[in-house]
Structure 1
Amino acid sequence: MISADQPTPNLSHPRRNTGSSDHLARRYDLDWLRVIAILTLLFYHTGMIYVSWGWHIKSVEHSQPMEEVMRWLHRWRMPLLFFISGAGTFFALRKRSFGSYAGERVRRLFVPLVFGMFVIVPPQIYIEWLFRGRFSGSYAEFYPEVFNFQPYQDGGTGGAFSWHHLWFICYLFVYSLLSIPVFRWLKREGGQRFTDRIGRLISRPGGAMWLVGFLLLNDVVLGGFFPNETHALVNDWAYFMKNLILFWLGYLLISRRDFWQTITDQRRYFLIGTLFCTVVLYSARAVIGEDAIDKSQLLTTLYSFNGLGLTWFSVLATIAYGYRYLNASRPILPHLNEAVYPFYILHQTVIILIGYYVLTRTQLGVYEGFFAISFSSLFACVAIYLCLIRPFKVTRILFGLK
C-alpha cells in the first residue's frame, strides 16, 4: 500500500502557482480512509460466508439484507483503495526518483505477494478443500500440492496455487511499474497542460463527475469482451483497466493543492450523485429484476453504467468529505497506518480459519456467527501483528513494512 507521504519540493514547473504550502501538506485524511476501507474489508469478507455468492466456505443460511449492503460496498471499497494508492504515489514520487520508487515497489509489494502465495494463502485453500470434502489429510500432507503450481479455480477445483485476496497487491504492483511513463509524462510540459485542462473541467459545478467518462469508455471497449471480474490478471482486462484508471485519477486529482479544495467544495454534488445511483441500483433490481436485466443488452449496459457512476461518485464523495472532516493527525494514526498493510495480508486467512471452526463446531446463526467471526478475526490479526510481525525485522520485510 502507498501512504500519503510527506512530499518534498518539486521545482520542475515553477510557472505553476500552487502556493508554497503545497510542498508542506500531508493528507492525513487519506491515511484515515485507507484504515477505514481495509477494516471494512474484514467485515465484507466475513459477510461472504453468509450471502448467496460463491466463496471459499459457506453457511447454509444466508442473509438477504447483508447481501444488499455488500452489493453497494462492492462498488466502493476496492475502487477507493486504488484511488488512494494512486494519490499516495504522487506523494511518494515527490520524495523519490522513479528508479528508487520502482525498487521500493518490489520490496513492499512483490516480496509480500510471493511470501503470501506460499505462506498466507495455502491455509485458505486447505480449509476450503476440507470444507468441501475434497481432502481429509493434515496440512503437512496438503502443502506439497502448492508446489505443483497448478492454478486454483473457483469452487475449490483446480490446484493449490493462487494469490486469492492478494490479487490487489499483484495489480497494484503491476500498476505501479506500468504507470511510471505516465507519471513521468504528467510532470512534463505536455502533461501539465493536460492537468490544466482537467483543472478547468473540475472547476465547474460538479465537474469532476464528468471524469466518469473514462470508466464508461473502458466499459464500452472492454466490458463486452471481459464482463466478469476474475482477479487473474491475464483475462481480466476490463476490470484491470477500470482500476488502473482509478489509480491514475487518484494521482492526477491529488497532484495540485487547488484541486483538493475544489473537490471538497463540491462534495454535495458527489453525494447527490451517489444517492441517485444508489436508488437506481436497488430500484432496477426490485422493479425490473436481475434476470430481466441480464437478458437485455440495453438494460445490462445501462445497469453497468449506473454501477460505474456509483463507483466514481462515491469515491469522490468519500475523498471530499474525508478532506473536509478527517484531515487531522492523531497519535494513533501512524500506528494504524503501519498496521493496515499486514492486516490486509492476514485478514482473509484468519477469517477462513475461524469461520471454518464456527461453521463446523457451533450452532451460531447468521448474525451471531457474523459478529463472532468478524471480531475474533479482528483481535487475532491485531495480536499476530503486535506479537509476530511488528517486532521482528524479517517479518516486517515479508509483510512489506519499512
Structure 2
Amino acid sequence: MTEVIKTERTAKSGIARRNDLDWLRLIAITILLFFHTGMLFNPWDWHIKNNEISESFRYWMVWLHEWRMPLLLFISGAGTYMALGKRTSGQYARERFKRLFIPLVFGMFVVVPPQIYFEHIKEYNSYGDFYKTVFNFVPYPQGSFSWHHLWFICYLFFYSLLALPFLVFLRSERSAAFRKKVSAVLSTPAGILLVPAVFILITQVILRSYFPDETHALIDDWAYFTFYFLFFLFGMLCYSTESLWESVGANRTYLLIASVFVLIPFYATYLHLQEIIHFPWSFEKIETTFDVLAIFVSWFCVITVIAYGQHYLNKPHPWLKHFNEGLYPFYILHQTVIIAIGYYICQLPWSIFAKFWTVSLLTLISCVAFYFVLIRPFNVMRFLFGMKVKQLTVDKDR
C-alpha cells in the first residue's frame, strides 16, 4: 500500500486508519456547503429562493446530488468499522448515542427551527412567536417540527445500530473466509463497479415501487433508507479487508473511465427530461432509464473518488486533526446559516454570481467562528454537538 502513514492497526482483520478518508470527509462537507448554497439559485424547490434563478445550476447540481451523500455514507461506514475498536458492543452503542442521537435532538430544537422560521417569516411577528409552534410537535411541512438536513445524523444513528452484528462479525476471525471471498469478487474493476451497483439497483427496483419519493422522514422512506444504508455497509466492508482496499486504488483509472462514460447517457436522458433534446421514447421510459443510470452514477463516482483519494490524499497534515474535529459541528450548522444569511443576501440587487459566493463565504466564516468561539472551548457545547468532551487536568503538585 502506497504512502502508508504511521498509525496502529484498527483490527487484526482490518487496515490502518488512512488520512485519505479524513481529507475526503473534508472535501465532501465542502461540497455540501456549495451545494446547499446553490439551492438558493437553482430551479428546484427549497426553503427559500432567490428572486432570480439560474438554469445552469441544475446541470452541475444534478450530478453532485447523486453521489455527495452516498460518499459521506461510505466514509461513515469505514469510520464506523474503526469506531468499534477495542470497545464492547455496549460501549459502542453508548458512544453512538452520545455522538449522534444527542446532537440530533439538540439540532431539532435549536439548530433547525430558524430554517423553518425564515421560510415562513412573514407569518410571525418575531422568532419567539414562531418558536412556540415547535412544541406543537406537528411534523414539517404542516408544522414546525423537523430534522431537515439532520436526517443524515438520524439515519446514521440507525445504520450504526443495525449494522452492529455485521460489524462485530467483520472484526472477528470468523469473517476471514467471508472477507476473502468478497475480496476475490470485488477486486477486479468489473467486480467493484458492477456487483455493488447491481445489488443496490435490485433493492431499489423492489422498494421504489412502494416508496417512490425521497422524504428523509424515516418511516416512509424505506427505499432511500436502504439505498444509503448499502453505501454505509459497502464502506464498512471495503475498509475491513486490506487486499480489497488496495485493489480499489489500483483500479482507479478503470473506475474513472467508467464514471465518465456513464455520465453520457445520464446527461442525455436528463436533457430529454428537461425537453432540451428528444428521444423517440415515452417520458416514463426515459425517466426510468434516468433513475437506473443515476444509481450507477452514484456508485461509480463514490468508488472512483475513494480510489483517487486513496492514491493522492493519504498524507498527514498538522491541521487535518483540527479540521476533522470541527467538521461535524460545521455540518450541523451550515444549512441553517446558509438560509439565515441567504434570506437577506437574496434581497439585494446583486448578480447570482455575487450572491452565491457571498453566501458561501459568509457561511464558512460564520460557522468557523461559531465553532471556535462558542463550541470548541466549552464542554457543554462540545457534548451537544457530538464532540469528545475535554478531560480536566489535575495539578499533581497539590
TM-score w.r.t. length of structure 2: 0.91
Deviation of 1:97 (Å): 1.9
Q: Which moved more, 1:243-252 or 1:61-70?
A: 61-70
Deviation of 1:205 (Å): 3.6
> How many angstroms apart in 1 are the aligned matches of 2:44 and 2:274?
17
1:142 is matched by which residue type in structure 2? F
1:151 is matched by which residue type in structure 2? P
The answer on 1:214 being equivalent to 2:205 is no
> C-alpha offsets along residues 94-137 of structure 1, whole Å, 9 cap, x if unaligned?
3322211111000000000000000001111111101xx3x131
The answer on whether the counterparts of 1:7 and 1:94 sit within 8 Å (CA) in structure 2 is no
1:356 to 339, 343, 348: 343
> How many angstroms apart in 1 are the aligned matches of 2:130 and 2:340?
15
> How many angstroms apart in 1 are the aligned matches of 2:345 and 2:97?
37
1:224 to 199, 209, 216: 209
> C-alpha offsets along residues 58-96 of structure 1, whole Å, 9 cap, x if unaligned?
112111221111100001110000000000111112332
Match of 1:323 in 2: 310
Match of 2:182 in 1: 198
> How many angstroms apart in 2 are the aligned matches of 1:343 and 1:187?
31
> How many angstroms apart in 2 are the aligned matches of 1:350 and 1:163?
15
The answer on 1:163 being equivalent to 2:150 is no
Deviation of 1:267 (Å): 0.6
Pair 1:385–1:230, CA change in 2 (3 A): same
Pair 1:295–1:182, CA change in 2 (3 A): farther
> How many angstroms apart in 2 are the aligned matches of 1:236 and 1:373?
31
1:152 to 112, 125, 140: 140
The DSSP-based 3-state class of the residue aligned with 2:370 is: helix
Deviation of 1:188 (Å): 4.9
- Gaps (5+ residues) in structure 1? 1-5
Deviation of 1:302 (Å): 2.3
Match of 1:73 in 2: 64
Q: How does 1:56-205 map to 2 (within 5 A)?
A: 56-130=47-121, 133=122, 135-153=123-141, 158-188=142-172, 191-205=175-189
1:284 is matched by which residue type in structure 2? T
> How many angstroms apart in 2 are the aligned matches of 1:9 and 1:393?
28
Match of 1:250 in 2: 235
The DSSP-based 3-state class of the residue aligned with 1:104 is: helix
The answer on whether the counterparts of 1:8 and 1:95 sit within 8 Å (CA) in structure 2 is no
| Residues matched between the structures, number | 381
Pair 1:9–1:285, CA change in 2 (3 A): closer
1:378 to 361, 364, 369: 364
Identity within the alignment, %: 48
Deviation of 1:9 (Å): 6.0
> How many angstroms apart in 2 are the aligned matches of 1:225 and 1:300?
17
Q: How does 1:330-345 map to 2 (within 5 A)?
A: 330-345=317-332
Match of 1:3 in 2: none
> How many angstroms apart in 2 are the aligned matches of 1:93 and 1:224?
36
1:286 to 262, 271, 274: 271
Pair 1:9–1:371, CA change in 2 (3 A): closer
1:107 is matched by which residue type in structure 2? K
The DSSP-based 3-state class of the residue aligned with 1:50 is: coil
Deviation of 1:10 (Å): 3.9
Deviation of 1:206 (Å): 3.3
- Gaps (5+ residues) in structure 2? 1-6, 389-398
> How many angstroms apart in 1 are the aligned matches of 2:8 and 2:219?
34
Pair 1:245–1:60, CA change in 2 (3 A): same
> How many angstroms apart in 2 are the aligned matches of 1:378 and 1:288?
34
> How many angstroms apart in 1 are the aligned matches of 2:176 and 2:285?
38
> How many angstroms apart in 2 are the aligned matches of 1:7 and 1:95?
12
Pair 1:279–1:9, CA change in 2 (3 A): closer
> C-alpha offsets along residues 232-255 of structure 1, whole Å, 9 cap, x if unaligned?
000011100000010000000010
The answer on whether the counterparts of 1:8 and 1:94 sit within 8 Å (CA) in structure 2 is no
The answer on whether the counterparts of 1:127 and 1:353 sit within 8 Å (CA) in structure 2 is yes
1:269 is matched by which residue type in structure 2? Y
TM-score w.r.t. length of structure 1: 0.90
Match of 1:368 in 2: 354
Match of 1:53 in 2: 44
2:112 is matched by which residue type in structure 1? V
The DSSP-based 3-state class of the residue aligned with 2:53 is: coil
The answer on whether the counterparts of 1:7 and 1:95 sit within 8 Å (CA) in structure 2 is no
> How many angstroms apart in 2 are the aligned matches of 1:276 and 1:289?
21
Pair 1:279–1:273, CA change in 2 (3 A): same
The answer on 1:274 being equivalent to 2:259 is yes
